[in-house]
């Protein structure tokens, strides 16, 4: 060997997570000028919404963007939330993987504790300047500048000043300069992101001030805050052997494996533990949790999954999950899209890996301002959301997109989905959304998630099928009536002549008109079979009209 092992490992070094993301900023969504600017706004707005809702405050958020020079912008985001205390503001805005969200089984838009710190990092590496903060909380105001120590993954705070206030103001203001970014009005822009955020957060008032100075306000449309999610325990369905080992080992209070299972998992009663023990011969549920071996944990997990027919598991708790809600979705979509038809569905809670519960909502809107306008008409528009936050990027690798495109749309009366004036909205609500990356712009193709999204969309599509079928049958009815009316006068005259003058043509015409009006009065009843393929029936009806 020409080079010694010791020499090879002279370059062996430890690196902080901040250094890693500095070199791999695309993993946080900072790739492309438009996307990078939208990512910055996304991180600030989602944090503001989470903070306001946790504080029981109706969100009022203002985002301002100004152009400094080409591909360089000043961004300011302000909210009326509870603010961030001085001792936490450094870690909240300048330290990777620090926050209040990752370790909790409760629904929030942010998860990893990276977002706002990632924006601080991006300002620093593209302009060399720190971000500025201004936090109002508990009759105090703290303001200063903040950057990231990449080698230590620690916040660097400068010129911090704490002042006493009268308590009339609360909230957080963050501003900074960012290069390698661009503002436009494309489908991936800051404007589109905020519009979609307002669509699924009707309890929030959001204002955008564009570089042109134009002020766009999306007012609050509902006067009720969404219920505050409650922290829960994981559900046993969906856990892996490694999950069980980690959960059990972290339980320092229980003396027995059986009691530990009850403390760790939701819906795990003493009766369920007894049923589980009966399916795990050879596993001693009376042993101390610390003595649980991998082989025994495998048996327990296998019994949980394979014993579904023998153990009637109760559905997961939903207190930790707060979907948008049918009424809120309907109000928002009607105000923004003004569709001719709309259907909304919400599935029952399900479980995926790790015992994490999730809920899928789907809304399907057709006609009006739906779809995306293009030069020669309209394209369909898929709006993806996770915990009420828009997912604008990486659509091709997202479970939501895959599920929607796998639907047999022709079956529901949509001949060409790609070129239809239709908008499909899907929101995935969960304690931990299985994102494909730290940028949080696409949902991983977990089988359970894909299946639930597809089922939700198909439920809504059945309602659209009935509506379109009714429209087709109404059109057929009108065409039939028109066809007969074209020959009414001639038929009346011919009948009068055949009667040998015993009846007047005018009288016959009146009677025939009455028969026609009676026959075709009102709409034909719609077909109640939501699952039937109506293509052949529509074609048959159209052929009758031609005849």
- Residue 115: the pLDDT is 74
The phi, psi pair for 340, rounded to 5°, reads: -75, -30
Torsion of CA 242, 244, 245, 246, to 10 degrees: 90
- DSSP type of residue 54: H
Instruction: List the one residue out of 114, 83, 110, 87 whose CA is nearest residue 18.
Output: 114
Which tokens belong to 313? Answer: 């598991």
Secondary element (H or E) of residue 341: strand 341-346
Among 38-52, 53-67, 422-436, 480-494, name the one with the lowest average pLDDT.
480-494
Selection from 219, 175, 184, 228 nearest residue 201 by Cα: 219
CB 115 within 8 A of CB 106: no
Contact present, 218 and 209 (Cβ < 8 Å): no
Q: Which domains does the chain have, with CATH numbers?
A: 17-218 (3.30.565.10), 241-306 (1.10.8), 323-547 (3.30.230.10)
- What whole-number distance in Å separates Cα of residue 474 and Cα of residue 334? 24
Q: Which residue has the tokens 């990027």?
A: 393
Nearest-5° Cα angle at 203, 197 to 205: 65
Task: Provide the pLDDT for residue 319.
Answer: 73
pTM of the full structure: 0.75
Helices (H) and strands (E) in the chain, counts: 16, 16
What confidence tens digit (pLDDT) does each residue in 380-389 have?
999 999 998 9
Please write the tens of the pLDDT for every residue from 224-277.
Answer: 888 887 777 888 887 889 989 988 988 888 999 999 999 988 888 899 899 899
Say which range, 339-343, 410-414, 463-467, 524-528, has the weakest mean pLDDT. 524-528
């Amino acid at each position: 060997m020409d080079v010694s092992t010791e020499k090879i490992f002279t370059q062996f070094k430890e690196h902080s997570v901040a250094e890693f993301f500095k070199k791999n900023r695309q993993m946080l969504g900072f790739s492309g000028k438009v996307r990078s600017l939208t990512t910055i706004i996304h991180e600030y707005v989602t944090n503001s919404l989470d903070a306001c809702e946790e504080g029981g405050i109706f969100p009022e958020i203002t985002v301002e963007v100004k152009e400094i020079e080409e591909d360089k912008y000043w961004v300011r985001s302000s909210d009326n939330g509870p603010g961030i205390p001085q001792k936490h503001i450094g870690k909240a805005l300048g330290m990777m993987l620090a926050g209040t969200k990752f370790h909790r089984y409760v629904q929030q838009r942010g998860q990893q504790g990276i977002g706002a710190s990632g924006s601080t990092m991006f300002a620093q590496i593209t302009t060399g300047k720190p971000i500025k903060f201004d936090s109002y909380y508990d009759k105090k105001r703290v303001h200063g500048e903040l950057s990231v120590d990449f080698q230590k993954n620690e916040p660097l705070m400068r010129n911090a000043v704490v002042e006493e206030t009268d308590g009339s103001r609360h909230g957080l203001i963050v501003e900074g300069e960012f290069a390698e970014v661009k503002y436009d009005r494309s489908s991936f822009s800051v404007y589109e992101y905020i519009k979609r955020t307002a669509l699924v957060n009707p309890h929030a008032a959001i204002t955008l001030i564009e570089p042109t100075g134009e002020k766009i306000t999306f007012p609050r449309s509902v006067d009720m805050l969404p219920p505050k999610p409650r922290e829960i325990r994981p559900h046993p369905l969906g856990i892996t052997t490694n999950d069980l080992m980690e959960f059990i080992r972290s339980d320092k209070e229980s003396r027995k494996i059986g009691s530990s299972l009850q403390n760790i998992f939701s819906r795990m009663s003493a009766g369920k533990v007894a049923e589980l023990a009966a399916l795990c011969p050879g596993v001693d549920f009376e042993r101390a949790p610390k003595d649980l071996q991998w082989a025994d944990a495998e048996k327990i997990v296998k019994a949980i999954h394979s014993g579904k027919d023998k153990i009637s598991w109760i559905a997961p708790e939903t207190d930790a999950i707060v979907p948008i809600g049918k009424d809120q979705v309907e109000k928002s979509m009607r105000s923004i899209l003004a569709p001719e038809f709309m259907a909304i569905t919400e599935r029952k809670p399900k479980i995926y890996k790790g015992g994490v519960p999730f809920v899928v909502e789907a809304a399907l809107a057709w006609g009006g301002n739906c779809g995306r306008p293009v030069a020669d008409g309209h394209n369909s528009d898929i709006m993806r959301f996770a915990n009420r936050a828009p997912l604008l990027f990486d659509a091709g690798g997202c479970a939501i997109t895959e599920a929607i495109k796998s639907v047999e749309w022709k079956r529901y009366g949509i001949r060409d989905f790609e070129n239809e004036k239709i908008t499909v909205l899907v929101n995935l609500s969960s304690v931990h959304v299985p994102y494909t990356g730290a940028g949080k712009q696409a949902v991983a193709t977990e089988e359970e998630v894909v299946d639930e999204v597809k089922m939700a969309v198909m439920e809504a599509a059945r309602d659209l099928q009935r509506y379109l079928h009714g429209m087709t049958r109404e059109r057929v009815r009108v065409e039939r009536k028109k066809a007969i009316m074209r020959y009414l006068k001639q038929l009346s005259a011919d009948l009068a002549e055949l009667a040998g003058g015993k009846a007047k043509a005018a009288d016959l015409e009146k009677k025939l008109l009455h028969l026609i009006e009676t026959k075709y009065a009102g709409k034909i009843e719609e077909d109640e079979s939501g699952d039937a393929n109506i293509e052949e029936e529509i074609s048959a009806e159209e052929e009758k009209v031609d005849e």
